[in-house]
Amino acid sequence: MVDIILLGGPGAGKGTQGELMAEWLPLPRVSSGDLFRANLSQETELGKQAKVYMDRGELVPDEITIGMVADRISEPDCANGVVFDGFPRTVAQAEALDDLLADMGRQVNAVLNIEVSEDVLLERLAGRWTCSQCGEIYHRLFSPEKVEGVCDKCGGALYQREDDNRETQLRRIRVYQEQTSPLQDYYQEKGVLVDIDGEQSPEAVAAEIREAVQPLLV
Ligand code: ADP
Ligand code: ADP
Ligand code: ZN
């Protein structure tokens, strides 16, 4: 049983690494951003509430976010652990997650802090394309699809996220620095923070993560 958090700015590679980890562990990857986008496309009440904040590049309020993630991790497939991607993003969310996991007799085992400079974050966000069907993540320059606009895995159409425009990107990076980066200290104090050099190839980042996570698997 292992619960792992992927921490890092927008574009750091959380989704890319989270997918790889989910396969080899194997554990479900729970991405709060993906959960919000699913609610958006299904036009749920929660989706409507979240959209205002997402369009601005701001955080969705804690109550909404925590409730949504709490529901998700109470599902049976999350019983043996979770790879958290993009959650928690505030200290209040981190405290809520500690309580939720404690109720299940679990705790955060590792926080992988994927370090990437601001310039590289912007470069990555600018070229990000995502599959509309399976969610696979591509990059125009760094990991392009084989046939332009078509997902290698499932044949779905690729799209650029609406919030991946320059203004919102800069906003999200600032929000990360102000509201999310304090989680580094929060988890450092708990002794679970592991710094990962995010400015390497996806394979090299994955190898560093594997080395950090392997000892936790008994
Ligand atoms: P990125 O991959 O660029 O880091 P995400 O897909 O994780 O972005 O998140 C997209 C947007 O969804 C955020 O800008 C924010 O509005 C909302 N969001 C996602 N996760 C959270 C969270 N844990 N708390 C509040 N808002 C969130
Ligand atoms: P996050 O979930 O943290 O916002 P993503 O996993 O969506 O980040 O990655 C953002 C963009 O950067 C995507 O286009 C992805 O293909 C690309 N990317 C991810 N990891 C790397 C890497 N190590 N080197 C180069 N590009 C990367
Ligand atoms: Zn696909």
111 backbone dihedrals φ, ψ, rounded to 5°: -120, 115
Delimiting residues of CATH 3.40.50.300 domain(s) in the chain: 4-116+167-217
What would the mean pLDDT of 78-104 be, rounded to a whole number? 98
Q: Which listed ligand is nearest to 61 at the C-alpha?
A: 1
89 is catalytic: yes
69 confidence band (pLDDT: 50, 70, 90): very high
37 is catalytic: no
- The residue nearest atom 9 of ligand 2, judged by CA position, is 13
72 is catalytic: no
User: Ligand 2 centre and the CA of 139: distance in Å?
Assistant: 7
218 confidence band (pLDDT: 50, 70, 90): confident
pLDDT digits (tens, 9 = 90+) for 154-213: 999 999 998 999 999 999 999 999 999 999 999 999 999 999 999 999 999 999 999 999
**pTM for this structure?**
0.97
Could you tell me which CATH number the domain at 4-116+167-217 has? Answer: 3.40.50.300
What would the mean pLDDT of 104-118 be, rounded to a whole number? 98
User: Ligand 2 centre and the CA of 152: distance in Å?
Assistant: 17
User: Ligand 2 centre and the CA of 11: distance in Å?
Assistant: 5
